[in-house]
Amino acid sequence: MDRRVIILAVAVAGLLAAMLLFKVRVMIAGGKYVVVAIVILLLVATAAGLLKNRDR
**pLDDT tens-digit series, residues 1-54:** 578 888 778 888 887 887 777 776 666 666 667 777 777 888 888 877 777 777
Query: What local confidence, expressed as pLDDT, does residue 55 receive?
Result: 66
The domain limits of the chain are: 2-55
DSSP per residue, 14-51: HHHHHHHHHHHHHHHSS-HHHHHHHHHHHHHHHHHHHH
* Amino acid at position 38, single letter: I
What are the CA-CA distances from residue 17 to residues 2, 4, 29 (Å)? 22, 20, 17
Q: What is the reported pTM?
A: 0.41
